[in-house]
Amino acid sequence: MVVFTRAVRHLLPCLLMDYLWTPWRYAYVSTAEKTTGCVFCDAVNAGDDRRVLIVHRGQHCFIILNMFPYTPGHVMIVPYAHLDELRKLPPDAAQEMMELSQRMESILRELYRPDGINLGMNIGKAAGAGIAGHIHMHVLPRWVADANFVSVVCETRILPEALEQTWKRMTAALGR
Ligand SMILES: [Zn+2]
């Protein structure tokens, strides 16, 4: 019984991570008619950062809001290069990705006052990547009592902030 409980405890975060990022996949399956097949490449080339929710363009990477945020302020840091593995990312792009991660940590702390921050990548479908062909770093604020387990399990999302509002706050903070 003890072993079973431990196994469940170890398994649960993995299951959550899988559920966590899959809404991306579902959302874009239905809106991908006129695309190249990669939502990140399409977003960069759309020519309308506000509509596609890009909040920052760096030299090698850009930052985009997650259209189905796990928590308010959930962003992804994405290299312009369409690469499916982190090890393929050139050093200067990898460095900028980490610099932007640090910057987003500061901005999320300032704007959302979270208790903690999740930062991570799912590389490959087996790891839970919704967009497996184009690597991206998730950065999202967390609170001790946030209700995401319930929201994910029930497929009902509580969004205290509209994406439009998040976009405005984030672009303003990143533009400073
Ligand atoms: Zn791509």
User: Dihedrals φ, ψ of 136, to 5°?
Assistant: -160, 145
Structure tokens at 47: 């020519």
Cα(142) to ligand 1 centroid in Å equals 28
Cα(60) to ligand 1 centroid in Å equals 13
Q: Where are the alpha helices (DSSP H) in the chain?
A: 2-29, 39-45, 49-52, 91-112, 148-153, 163-174
Structure tokens at 137: 């770093």
Mean pLDDT for the chain overall = 81
Cα(83) to ligand 1 centroid in Å equals 7
Cα(38) to ligand 1 centroid in Å equals 5
Cα(136) to ligand 1 centroid in Å equals 10
Asked if pLDDT for residue 25 goes beyond 90, the answer is: no
Counting runs of H as helices and runs of E as strands, what totals does the chain give? 6, 5
CATH ID of 2-174, from 3.90.850.10, 3.40.630.30, 3.30.428.10, 3.65.10.10: 3.30.428.10
**In the chain, % of residues over pLDDT 70:** 72
Cα(66) to ligand 1 centroid in Å equals 15
What is the domain partition of the chain in residue ranges? 2-174
Cα(117) to ligand 1 centroid in Å equals 26
- The residues that bridge with 117 in the sheet, in sequence order, are 141
The 10 Å Cβ neighbour count of residue 174 is 17
Cα(5) to ligand 1 centroid in Å equals 40
Structure tokens at 22: 């899959």
DSSP state for residue 133 in the 8-state scheme? T
CB 71, CB 148: distance < 8 Å = yes
Q: How far is it, in rounded angstroms, from Cα 92 to Cα 146?
A: 35
Cα(86) to ligand 1 centroid in Å equals 13
- The residues that bridge with 142 in the sheet, in sequence order, are 116
Q: How far is it, in rounded angstroms, from Cα 128 to Cα 130?
A: 6
pLDDT digits (tens, 9 = 90+) for 45-56: 999 999 999 999
Cα(113) to ligand 1 centroid in Å equals 32
pLDDT digits (tens, 9 = 90+) for 72-125: 999 999 999 999 999 999 999 999 999 999 999 999 999 999 999 999 999 999
- In this prediction, residue 68 has a pLDDT band, given cuts at 50, 70 and 90, of confident
pTM over 0.85: no
Contacts of 60 (CB under 8 A, 6+ apart): 79, 80, 81, 90, 92, 93, 96, 97
DSSP state for residue 137 in the 8-state scheme? E
